[in-house]
Amino acid sequence: MEYSAVVKVFATSQAYDFGCPWQSLSPNGGTGSGVVIDAALLLTSAHVVANATFVQVQKCSSSEKFTAQVEAICHDSDLALLRVESQHFMEGIAPAEIGSLPNHRDRVSVVGFPIGGEDFSITEGVVSRIEVQEYSHSQRHLLAVTVDAAINEGNSGGPVFKGGEVVGLAFQGLRNAQSIGEVVPTPLIRQFLRGKANGRVTHVPGLGIRTQKLENASLRKHLGLNSDQTGLLVTEVAPDNSCEGVLREGDVITAIDEYQIDNNGTIRYKGEFRTEYPVVLGEYLVGEEVSFDLLRNGKQIKLSTKLRKYEMLVPLNQYETAPSYFIFGGFVFQILCRDFLRCWDDWWDRAPKEFLYEYYFGIPSKERKEVVIISRVLAHEINVGYEETYNIAVNKVNGVTVRNLRQLFEVLHNSETIVDIETSIGTHVVLNAKQANNADLEILERYNIHAGCSSDLEDIALQKQRKSA
């Protein structure tokens, strides 16, 4: 079999420091694999080139490295498309064809450049499972193919071949297992490439609902389901998500896009693979419509909704996006997100329990779109006595619920009187706003901080400067 389309990817990346949101972490380098699918275009894993500052690729047939640019990226499904501008890059390369979703027990070959050698490596295995799995790069639960072939560091982004066609990209190994790897399947690859070709955003959409399984017979009877009906109970509908204004609490979803949903929340995907119902979303782009069959107040109805990007109260891993923050009176305010939680070693056990609860169970509401926190206190005369008021969420300012970071910044930055900031445990930070704003210039200089707020909040700061002038 010809593997000329397989390449090695070299990436230098620099992530943001969410513990000190005004600065970046040190640059670091890594390698991965990729596959050429068209003239000068190649697929790889998003985590290989996440936060990349410089990318190069190397063909199997040569030691020469070619500079590449990230053409498109979807962190949800861990996919990236790179472009190589060099006219000589495609010499000797036959682009690979993308095939279809494999079947159970199909034999496949994983090709790539795992660490420990210079030449490409081939490992063979059998498809053992096709179902929804958690993608470690994005924490999204999406369709994945499991193979009993080793996927090691450096393999990520490498193609998985069946009969000469690419049936997926290697992207992660299975935890606590040997020689078990997981593969991004072709339905997600095709969704990503279709979005890029149509100029659409490449996020995998989400429904933004919480559901309850209906495996209990008494619960089904209480909801009015007959013996032939199955489904899931809608318990919450998050604002600013796909199902807002369409689904309601108390609805029973019996089918999604003609797939009947069983009482445990699974469907028979493609008529063969038993897996969780959100697998359907992997074939859709943001802006497209998905349909539901519902039981509402005892009546069967059919509705559809336009899909949106998945919005969470506590954002999952973020890439190529600087953290939002501002400093007021030496207090550092920022948005709670998974990247901030990762500042703790073993964060799932050692991070503040309040933060962990919001991460796992919090859902956005009309009153609160983000969890705003005080992440640290930069010691200064203005904040004496508040030294231990950090790693805590902010509930209210001047008695008004804090909706998001931007709203809080506007209130504090534009105030010239006393402000009262109430935390999630009921403690209060009371400051003279004018004195706090004046002290911030000295605080920034004292702690060598180049900006008192992130770039997405600069317009508010400029408005205040114009008013002052």
Give a yes or no: residue 331 inside a domain.
yes
Give the model confidence (pLDDT) of 293-335 as tens digits: 999 998 999 999 999 999 999 999 999 999 999 999 999 999 9
CB neighbours of 398 closer than 8 A, spacing ≥ 6? 411, 419, 420
Catalytic residues, by residue number, are: 47, 78, 156
Report the 10 Å Cβ neighbour count for 443.
22
Give a yes or no: residue 1 inside a domain.
no
- 175 and 283 fall within a common domain: no
- 376 and 290 fall within a common domain: no
Q: Name the domain boundary from 275, 306, 337.
A: 306
Question: pTM to 2 decimals?
Answer: 0.91
pLDDT of residue 357: 97
- 136 and 44 fall within a common domain: no
Give the model confidence (pLDDT) of 37-79 as tens digits: 999 999 999 999 999 999 999 998 888 999 999 999 999 999 9
Give a yes or no: residue 285 inside a domain.
yes
**CATH classification of the domain holding 418:** 3.20.190.20
Q: Are 31 and 155 in contact (CB under 8 A)?
A: no
pLDDT of residue 462: 75
Number of structural domains, the chain? 4
**CATH classification of the domain holding 35:** 2.40.10.10
- 221 and 265 fall within a common domain: yes
**Residue 454, both tokens:** 């992130």
pLDDT of residue 199 exceeding 90: no
pLDDT of residue 468 exceeding 60: no
Give a yes or no: residue 159 inside a domain.
yes
- 162 and 70 fall within a common domain: no
pLDDT of residue 234 exceeding 90: yes
Give a yes or no: residue 95 inside a domain.
no
pLDDT of residue 466 exceeding 70: no
Mean pLDDT of the chain: 93
**What is the Cα–Cα distance from 47 to 423, expressed in whole angstroms?**
36
pLDDT of residue 469: 46
- 162 and 30 fall within a common domain: no
pLDDT of residue 2 exceeding 80: no
The mean pLDDT value for 192-207 works out to 91
Q: Name the domain boundary from 84, 112, 145.
A: 84
The mean pLDDT value for 233-241 works out to 95
Pairing type for strands 97-98 and 165-173 reads: parallel
The mean pLDDT value for 172-201 works out to 86
- 347 and 437 fall within a common domain: yes
- 267 and 333 fall within a common domain: no
- 51 and 156 fall within a common domain: no
Give a yes or no: residue 314 inside a domain.
no
**What is the Cα–Cα distance from 234 to 222, expressed in whole angstroms?**
14
pLDDT of residue 465: 61
Q: Name the domain boundary from 160, 192, 224.
A: 192
Distance (Å) of CA 185 to CA 8, 104, 326, 440: 20, 13, 41, 51
Range of the structural domain that residue 167 is part of:
103-192
pLDDT band at 464 (very low <50, low <70, confident <90, very high): low
Give a yes or no: residue 438 inside a domain.
yes
Backbone dihedral region for residue 70 (phi beyond 0: left; psi -120 to 50: alpha; all else: beta): beta
The mean pLDDT value for 102-106 works out to 93
- 128 and 173 fall within a common domain: yes
**CATH classification of the domain holding 237:** 2.30.42.10
pLDDT of residue 389: 96
Give the model confidence (pLDDT) of 422-460 as tens digits: 999 999 999 999 999 999 999 999 999 999 999 999 988
Pairing type for strands 372-377 and 121-134 reads: unpaired
Geometric angle at alpha carbon 98, from 93 and 99, rounded to 5°: 135
- 344 and 429 fall within a common domain: yes
Give the model confidence (pLDDT) of 379-438 as tens digits: 999 999 999 999 999 999 999 999 999 999 999 988 889 999 999 999 999 999 999 999
Give a yes or no: residue 260 inside a domain.
yes
% of the chain at pLDDT higher than 70: 97
pLDDT of residue 276 exceeding 60: yes
Pairing type for strands 52-59 and 65-74 reads: antiparallel
- 291 and 186 fall within a common domain: no
